[in-house]
Copies of this chain bind each other. A is one copy, B any other.
Amino acid sequence: MPAPFHPTRAFQAYQLFAANTNVGKTVFATGLCRAAALLGKEKNRNVFYLKPVQTGYPADSDERHVKTYNSSTIRTQTLYTYPDPVSPHIATNSPPEDAEVMQRTKQWMLDSLKGAQDKSGSFFFLETAGGIHSPVMSGTPQADFYRPLRLPSILVGDGNLGGISTTMTSYESLMLRGYDIPAVLLFDKEYRNHELLQRRLKVDVTAVPPPPAYIEDPVHEQASMKKYYEQLDEYLYPVMKRLDQKHEQRFDRLEQMADKSREVFWWPFTQHETVKDVTVIDSAYNDYFLTYAKNENKELEPKEMFDSCASWWTQGLGHGNPDLALTAAHAAGRYGHVMFPEATNEPALALAEKVLEKDTWASRVFVSDNGSTAMEVALKMAMSATGRRYGWAHKAPIEILGIDGSYHGDTIGAMDACSANVYNEQVQWYQPRGHWLTPPSVHITKGQAHVRVPAQVLQQSHGTTVNYDSVATIYSVDKQGENRDPELASIYKDYIRSQLKMLRDQKRHIGAVLMEPVLMGAGGMIFVDPLFQRVLVDTIRQESADLLGYSSADKAGWQGLPVVFDEVFAGWYRLGRQSASDFLGVKPDIAAYAKTLTGGLLPLALTVTKEPIFDIFLSKNKPDCLLHGHSYTAHPMGCAVAKRSIELLDEFAASETEHWAPFRKEWQQQQEESVWSMWSPDVVRQLSFSDRVESVMTLGSVLAVELKDEANKGYGSTASQSIVQSMRRNVFTENGSEATINLFARPLGNIIYLMTSQISTPERVRQCERILLQCIQSSSN
């Protein structure tokens, strides 16, 4: 798959969409090719015309019409033809797959480009068939089918009665799919549709005289049309000039964006002093960013990059998802944002009900904006609950019990719930308020699945590793570790008890237990041994009040301490199961969700909990309530999108043949029945044998590769940076041709992680794996 079928400064490409069938698309395509040829003479450029799908052929041939009224220098092509003059989806009983049609379309664009290197550039026009949502052969609406190209779209409007409406609705449907629409063209009929359209649409609208009446005699018809097109040149040459100007302006802007962005942005978590490349993301689709970067000749080149950091772990249902965009737009149109306290709206209620249908342990949903605020809410809930149950003085110095290496967000309260690390120790008001246990972790090294048990846990001077026959065994967790490893479970319990006793001796007030179940993300993609977390939860519930010396007659609803699961990263199928708590076989008392909750589209976070915790805040006194609330709490757009995302993920999870089924099947073949990943077991094994790699681990869409890093600088390490840079920049060869795909990954100390969306296909993930392997292997040499 070689390079750019996306526009460049020299390769000016458009597609023609129409508001309806039979409104003049081919006439405008013919006229624009002529206008482009005129401009092409000045600018030494070729003109190309492509009709991917033609029905009613050969009686109808838009390509033939275009050729007839253009000079012979224009290069034209039709790819698929069908004799019936009907919609392509009923014109054939054996429709080609979308991927094949797209591949042939791209290939013709590429071949044309190669054949056009005698000139300084080219104008390319792609003519669609029928209206914008008229389907291709598979039934996919064209506006969706052509979206991966996202060519600037010239909308041919409808000059007939009713045409204002069809033009405006087509415009809106194209906008909803993220197309740019540089021009609307239509025939100037008696209804003067263009006048109102120009008032309503934020785009150039040009009306031209309609073609003359059809003449039966072909010679006369041709002469009449030839004259018409000469007249049309007067209208369309200026249109083409404006399109050309807009195109140049677009590339001027793209050229400046990196530098301008350096000047005005203060990027999050970014040391500006060391930023090398600024990735200019022109658009995104599915798993891919379309980016533009300057090559060695300082020319902008398009590059597709796989979003392999899942846009900071948010990506769920793919970039530019039209279903989510329409869901969001409907909520915006029905409500905008509406007041939430003491009020209700359908998207918010439906989302809460949907989540509680899943989280049967919970009964209450609190809504905020991001993982950090969701965790601050969880902290406020948990600490009030504990303080009130154990009758602590209002200003008792309540702390939390956590796991070392955890990360709960960037607001100061969420930071305070984490042990000191490079994220927070620079922050003036950061003040660690808790005690953190050292976690054992899961790894695969040289094909061997094992748990790394640190010295602290063993209460000895050295750590150890415990091998297991498979990753699946490690995740077969139950009470006391009976199925997996009762001996290790007992070691864990001893460690936890000793820590709780120590806290008792220090007379500390522990208000909650916090953990990221299964996977600690920002702390370094640490797969915590699920047995450890299970034993921790069990011990907290059974013994912590006694061990800590807290007593209360009230034991309703939660035991010992409230258990808070921070599932901001791991929730909603990120690890292959709906909730990361499923791996532990226990449920929390409070859980926080965000990130992929909204399918990767917009911010929304939930804190869910159960009635006994909620009840603690009930009183006749207003200030006893939970004093937290952001202005956009439960904004309908976010709630509607989150609910839709959950519905779709449930469908994915239920499918036995599609979506995640092929991935699951591959892991089942490796006897890994209870765990699965989008990353193939073979590649995981292969990576685990690399001499550059310390260990590997994967679940769901997450792959973490721990690099050997002798200095062992953790987050401060730069070990992964060169590999990440090469994934972003290198040109990859596959089967002798250059791959156009790069990986947009982010370094995390000595960890390289890749993360897909939840709609990634095996083909796309396998390509990422090959690139990753190449980059790691070449870095080893």
Contacts and interface: CB of A to CB of B under 8 A. Distances in A.
B333 A178 contact: yes
A127 to B, nearest CB: 15
Given A278-B343, A602-B632, A428 B380 contact: yes
A491 interface: no
Given A165-B132, A313-B631, A370-B631, A364 B416 contact: no
Most B C-beta atoms less than 10 A away, residue of A314, A376, A603: A603
A320 B272 CA distance: 39
Contact of A278 (B132, B342, B423, B630): B342
User: Which 7 pairs across A and B sit closest by C-beta, in order of nearness?
Assistant: A268-B629, A131-B165, A178-B334, A412-B413, A21-B162, A178-B333, A325-B332
A602 B637 contact: yes
Interface in A389-406: 396, 398
A637 B269 CA distance: 21
Contact of A335 (B281, B335, B340, B618): B281
B627 A162 contact: no
A49 interface: no
A102 interface: no
Contact of A271 (B139, B352, B426, B625): B625
A290 to B, nearest CB: 10
A172 to B, nearest CB: 5
A319 B335 contact: yes
A467 B263 CA distance: 47
Nearest to A373: B411
A279 B622 contact: no
B412 A416 contact: yes
A87 interface: yes
Contact of A365 (B265, B272, B281, B289): B265
Contact of A340 (B191, B267, B330): B267
Contacts of A387: 428
A22 B428 CA distance: 69
Contacts of A411: 372-373, 376, 411-414
Contacts of A314: 337, 631-632
Contacts of A366: 265-266, 268
B273 A619 contact: yes
Interface residues on A, range: 35 or more
A338 B281 contact: yes
B330 A284 contact: no
A53 interface: no
A627 B380 contact: no
B338 A311 contact: yes
A86 B196 CA distance: 13
A661 interface: no
A99 interface: no
A750 to B, nearest CB: 14
A609 B609 CA distance: 39
B336 A319 contact: yes
A618 B715 CA distance: 18
Interface in A598-629: 600-603, 607, 609, 614, 617-629
Contact of A410 (B178, B320, B629): B629
A201 to B, nearest CB: 11
Contacts of A328: 328-329, 332, 637
Interface string A180-210: 0000000000111000100110000000000
Contact of A336 (B191, B318, B352, B427): B318
Nearest to A258: B344
Given A318-B336, A324-B332, 20 more contacts: A139-B196, A175-B333, A177-B333, A178-B335, A253-B346, A264-B356, A264-B363, A268-B633, A269-B628, A271-B625, A280-B343, A281-B345, A284-B336, A311-B337, A311-B338, A319-B337, A324-B336, A332-B602, A369-B369, A384-B426
A440 interface: no
A344 to B, nearest CB: 4
A627 B424 contact: yes
A339 B364 CA distance: 32
Contact of A176 (B89, B172, B272): B172
Contacts of A90: 191-192
A584 interface: no
A607 B264 CA distance: 12
A519 interface: no
A275 B179 CA distance: 46
Nearest to A168: B133
B342 A267 contact: yes
Contact of A630 (B272, B326, B370, B632): B370
A199 to B, nearest CB: 7
A173 interface: yes
Contacts of A165: 20-21, 130-134, 141, 170
A321 interface: yes
A502 interface: no
21 contacts: A19-B169, A89-B196, A139-B200, A141-B200, A175-B326, A177-B333, A178-B333, A260-B353, A264-B364, A265-B344, A280-B343, A282-B346, A312-B633, A320-B336, A332-B602, A341-B746, A369-B630, A410-B630, A426-B623, A602-B602, A603-B638
Contacts of A746: 339, 341
